[in-house]
Amino acid sequence: MPDRRRTHQLQIVIGDGRTGPHNAITDVPGVRVGHTTLCHGDGPLVRGRGPVRTGVTIVHPQAGDSFQRPVHAGIHWLNGNGEMTGTAWLVENGLLGSPIGLTNTGSVGVVRDTLTALQCEQDGQQPWTLPVVAETWDGFLNDVGGQHVSPEHVRAAYQNAAGGPVAEGNVGGGTGMVCHDFKGGIGTSSRVVSTVDGPVTVGVLVQANHGIRKRLSILGVPVGEVVDSSVVPVPEMPEAPGVHGAGSIITVVATDAPLSARQCTRLAQRATLAIGRTGGAGENDSGDGVIAFSTAGAGVIPSAGYARQRAGSYQVDVLSDDAIDALFYAVIDATEEAILNAMLAARTMTGRDGVVVHQLPAEVLLRTLADFRRGPLG
């Protein structure tokens, strides 16, 4: 198997759409992704010392200054047992005016505060800012209460963000995450959509930390029922044996299609169909949030800061709703593939108290799909 295991490399095709050159959210021009990964220590959990299996991921919405060049955006929650800062104002005015941070539940504050500090340094003044930072809980493997993500880690992810291929699996904010009782983490995918005005790209990045094994479905195949605990062990937590599924997934959707904030919200809603299609149910203890943005208005929309709202009016062309279905299909397929890529790229990890979460073996997945005549061998 190749070191970089991804759905298309394994000839697993989800939907009939064409992927972008990197099959990643960075296929949307200007979008950049950076990670800082923290993985050290073994043995019993000692609060504040480890073991540490966590990190931070930063998504820059476009090529310019993410604080100075807001873009249209919308959010949607499938189930709200999660946090995404800065979204009360985003819902109110429909603009994303910061990078997006992804991390663990205990480190939301430091990521948010560091992004604020970065804006202060760049602007050289007292900016008004509400950074967007989202989380999923990695306490099955990580000393989440130890709050090991520091401002320096956030700055590193912010500064090393780049276009091109995106690292997946046990990286950044996804380092300690678990997906459908397999090792989860960061995953990404993209689709190129034809419109009357030319091709546009829809890109998705997920931090996948949700689901239970028996519900996992890929291409309509009940993979979780076939690849049960007798094939790949299901992790057991010492204090809660047999309790799984109380996780979350954060999804970031980007497109260069010209969309209004309302249309971005509609796009965010459709991403949750892929979560359901793969077996997620928005369980009571799950935080399943989606943020979607369009880069088409960058540089045209006035800044979201009060001090700079001087324009009496501005004009941005948007896609007709009659043409948006193709984007809906694209975001569903790309989200499903991103979830699968997160599991395929992840590697087996041993975390706190010796808890082991196993990877989804590519050869086992291929054999299961072939048995149902849905994979490259079927």
What's 228's DSSP letter?
Answer: -
What lies within 8 Å, CB to CB, of 233 at 6+ separation is 356, 358
The SS3 call for residue 187 is strand
Distance of CA 79 to the CA centre of its chain: 16
What's 295's DSSP letter?
Answer: G
**Active site positions, annotated:** 248, 286, 288
Whether the bond between 51 and the residue before it is cis, its omega within 30 degrees of 0, is yes
Amino acid at 351: G
Instruction: Work out whether strand 52-60 and strand 32-40 pair parallel, antiparallel, or are unpaired.
Output: antiparallel
DSSP string of 105-167, one letter each residue: GGGHHHHHHHHHHHHHHHHTS------EEEEE--TTTS-GGG----HHHHHHHHHT-BSSS--
Q: Residue 80: how many CB atoms within 10 A of its CB?
A: 12
The CA-based dihedral angle spanning residues 23, 25, 31, 32, taken in that order and rounded to the nearest 10 degrees? -90
